Amino acid sequence: MNELGISEEVVRLVNEAEAECYEEFLKIDKRCDNNSLKVLSSFQRNEVTESCFNETTGYGYNDLGRDTIEKIFIDVLGSEDALVRNQFISGSHALTVCFFALLRPNDLLLSISGTPYDTLHEVIGIKENPSSLKSFGIRYDEIDLVDNDFNYEAIKEYLTNNNVKVVEIQRSKGYSTRKSLTIDKVEKVIKMIKEVSPNTIVMVDNCYCEFVSDKEPVQVGADIMVGSLIKNLGGGIAPNGAYIAGRHDLIELCGERLTLPGEGREVGPSLGVNKQLLQGIYMAPSVVASSLKTAVLTSKVLEKMGYEVEPRYNEVRADIVENIIFRNPEDLIEFTRGIQEGSAIDSNATVEPWDMPGYTDKVIMASGSFTQGSSIELSCDGPLREPYIAYMQGALTYPYGKLGLMKAVQKIMKGGK
């Protein structure tokens, strides 16, 4: 490992931890096999051909590749319909489109997983913004989790006494200290919601979670869900974009909010991106498996070093994110710098905490990625606030993830030297 400046001590530590992760890796490989079968079957059923790679420009009418991609997402996610577009800038953009598509003035939005991710605060109006949902007269409330699970009694009481238009569930933890929400917990709470308030729309933020479990939220009762293509389902190949999947009537509304009423999903040129989106979903089972193995190994290694980790290496996972709780800013910064130095792109950069748009605290972020901000590629970030947690995720291949981890471990062992 001399080429990367990794000591024998670090190599030995990581290899010992890797051997202890064998059983967990077998489980990940089995799920990868199942998801690969699901994707390949959909490609063949929908008769993907080279013609699907052709680009459209202008209005984007009759885009064969774009429409075929959406059929594949319908199959893979088990949804009634799907909107998969490169016009989405990010997962947060797709969530915003979804909110504005489903909610009208005086409607009530309820988050039952606590405060949503930082980038949605100005969207909702938690932080003032003249373009927020709040500025359009849309009301918002939230119910915190209790012991990393939904507060079922509080949710039931709230739904009984209020006319809630949309319930929002964020599965991944974001920059909070809670656990991410497993598909079993999501299924249980959706069943209760539908019993108490059957007309309430259940919307799930599924970012970081696709292909981690055997089922997706729309398969356990969610009406609509949202995810990013520079995360799991883009396979590290999609250059941008996101998806919204769920009930046909709701997807139609989202299409008209993304473009314009009357044209909706019929427009939107692919601009030559179809091949990359198809390759991305095709590679996604393998790439997600690599990310999960990297997360499991990271958890085991950092735990052996005496740090708190969440989840532990053998816990059931809801997403690809691994938390390392450093409890001091120095280790958070050096570990993140190590991930950057262990990357293929911009490995010579020294990352610094900065005022990132959409965030309250300074954030340090390592993302030596081929696609800017891609979280399915090996990356690590965290806000400079107590308890100083590094949120690590991604790896296009497990060997690259392992090497990046070694570089980060070397960095904190040597105190940044």
SS (H, E, C) 239-276: CCCEEEEECHHHHHHHHHHHCCCCCHHHCCCCCCCHHH
392 CB-near residues (< 8 Å, 6+ apart): 295, 298, 321, 322, 323, 324, 339, 379, 380
**What predicted TM-score, i.e. pTM, was given to this entire model?**
0.95
Q: Give the mean pLDDT per block of 10 residues along the chain (417 residues).
A: 85 97 98 98 98 96 97 98 97 98 98 94 96 98 97 98 98 90 98 98 98 97 98 97 98 98 96 97 98 98 97 97 96 96 94 82 92 94 94 97 97 72
- Residue 417: which of 3, 8, 7, 1 has the closest Cα? 7
Cα–Cα distance, 2 to 25 (Å, whole number): 27
Q: How many CA atoms lie within 13 A of 83 on its CB side?
A: 31
Cα–Cα distance, 392 to 398 (Å, whole number): 14
pLDDT number for residue 177: 86
What residues does each domain of the chain span? 2-36+282-413, 55-271
Q: Are 244 and 225 within 8 A, CB to CB?
A: yes
pLDDT number for residue 417: 47
Q: b/e for 60-77, b at 16 or more Cβ within 10 A? A: beebbbbbbbbbbbbbbb
Q: Tell me the CATH architecture of domain 55-271.
A: 3-Layer(aba) Sandwich (3.40)
Of the candidate CATH numbers 3.40.50.2300, 3.40.50.12280, 3.40.309.10, 3.90.1150.60, the domain formed by 2-36+282-413 belongs to 3.90.1150.60
216 CB-near residues (< 8 Å, 6+ apart): 77, 78, 79, 183, 206, 209, 210, 225, 245
Percent helix, strand and coil across the chain, each to the nearest 5: 45, 15, 40
Helix (H, G, I), strand (E, B) or coil at 328: coil
Rounded to 5 degrees, what are φ and ψ at 246? Answer: 155, -145
Q: Are 254 and 220 within 8 A, CB to CB?
A: no
